[in-house]
């Protein structure tokens, strides 16, 4: 038998069987299954991935990766990843890729170490909220693998996805294909968002929904590096100019220092400068994700 966790703080708390069933009933099999301060267990379809903070936990901790019997679920594949390390190991099964489901949509997932999985489950309730806003046209900035775009297209909206990573957009296109949505003629622009925004304004395009979900820092490639504290306020103002009356704008920032209060102040300042009336609502949080693990976010909902 494997020894138990040596540090009790490392033992993860699993979500309840009731919540597990509720998520599955909603058609979702990608979610945070358990966590402790040093360990996160993510369910990706039939795979369980353990992500441990450094320093690496001692070997032999695999025992507590077994889901409680009350969940009635066993992972076909288990992967152990220590954050920041280039390698990961399989504790069960093999391979790195899979497909997951969120509601009526499917997304490709790649758990190769050093690769982004391809879906942010912590944005699930924001995707659901976007659906409830019945968008007709979506501008998906920092689109990554286009999860928001796929959702909007499935709801009948046009979608423009902008990201400076060709690989992320190729995975995004594949997600549209997987959901039979290429016929909605989604647009994919491989471009720096900072250059695309003024161009969209010159072209007179407007959108009923905009997602602004930037990284906190990114190397600029051939352009300037991206720093959230410098870029956010002008980007919110630029998005407001592209937002149609009655439209919805999500601003989400994965930065501990930029808490919601600060985001709200920045948003209110931009709204007043652009003379736009809107109400602000907190971004939505999936019930299984603790507040401390969430990005800071607000919805700006135009009221004119
Ligand atoms: C946090 S992810 C966005 C997640 C996405 N909203 C989702 O829910 O799946 C950030 C993305 O921004 C892209 N990126 C970073 N800097 C950029 C820039 N200056 N212009 C365009 N895309 C950029 C990265 O390639 C990455 O895909």
Protein residue with least CA distance to atom 27, ligand 1? 144
Give the model confidence (pLDDT) of 38-85 as tens digits.
899 999 999 999 998 876 666 666 777 889 999 999 999 999 998 888
Whether residue 229 is found in the same domain as residue 188:
yes
pTM score, two decimals? 0.93
Q: What is the mean pLDDT of the chain?
A: 91
236 domain-assigned = yes
Looking at the structure of the chain, the number of domains it has is 2
Whether residue 139 is found in the same domain as residue 280:
yes
Whether residue 128 is found in the same domain as residue 206:
yes
Whether residue 59 is found in the same domain as residue 176:
no
180 domain-assigned = yes
114 domain-assigned = no
Whether residue 37 is found in the same domain as residue 136:
no
Whether residue 269 is found in the same domain as residue 179:
yes
Whether residue 183 is found in the same domain as residue 261:
yes
Pocket test for ligand 1, best of 124, 164, 232, 251 (most atoms within 8 A of CB): 164
104 domain-assigned = no
Cis peptide before 55 (omega within 30 of 0): yes
State which ligand 1 atom lies nearest to the alpha carbon of 193: 20
* Structural domain range at position 125: 121-302
284 domain-assigned = yes
Lowest-pLDDT range of 20-34, 54-68, 178-192, 277-291: 54-68
Residues with CB under 6 Å of ligand 1 are 120, 123, 142, 144-145, 147-148, 163-165, 168, 192-194, 211, 213, 215, 218, 226
Q: What is the CATH number of the domain that holds 60?
A: 3.30.750
């Amino acid at each position: 038998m494997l020894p138990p966790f040596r540090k009790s703080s490392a033992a993860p708390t699993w979500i309840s069987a009731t919540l597990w069933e509720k998520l599955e009933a909603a058609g979702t099999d990608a979610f945070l299954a358990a966590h402790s301060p040093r360990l996160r267990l993510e369910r990706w379809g039939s795979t369980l991935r353990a992500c441990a903070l450094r320093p690496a936990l001692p070997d032999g901790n695999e025992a507590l990766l077994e889901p409680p019997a009350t969940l009635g679920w066993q992972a076909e594949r288990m992967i152990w990843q220590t954050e920041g390390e280039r390698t990961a190991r399989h504790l069960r099964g093999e391979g790195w890729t899979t497909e997951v489901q969120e509601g009526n949509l499917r997304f490709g997932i790649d758990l190769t170490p050093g690769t982004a999985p391809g879906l942010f489950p912590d944005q699930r309730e924001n995707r659901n909220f976007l659906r409830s806003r019945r968008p007709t046209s979506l501008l998906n900035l920092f689109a990554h693998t286009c999860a928001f775009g796929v959702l909007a297209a499935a709801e009948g909206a046009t979608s423009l996805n902008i990201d400076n990573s060709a690989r992320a957009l190729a995975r995004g296109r594949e997600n549209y294909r997987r959901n039979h949505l290429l016929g909605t003629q989604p647009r994919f622009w491989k471009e720096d968002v900072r250059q695309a925004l003024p161009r969209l304004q010159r072209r007179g395009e407007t959108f009923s929904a905009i997602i602004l979900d930037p990284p906190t820092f990114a190397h600029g490639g051939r352009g300037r590096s991206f720093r959230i504290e410098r870029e956010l306020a002008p980007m919110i103002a630029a998005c407001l100019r592209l937002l149609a009356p009655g439209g919805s704008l999500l601003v989400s920032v994965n930065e501990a220092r930029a808490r919601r209060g600060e985001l709200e102040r920045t948003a209110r300042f931009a709204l007043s400068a652009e003379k736009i009336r809107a109400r602000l609502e907190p971004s939505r949080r999936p019930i299984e994700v603790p507040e401390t693990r969430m990005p800071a976010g607000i919805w700006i909902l135009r009221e004119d």
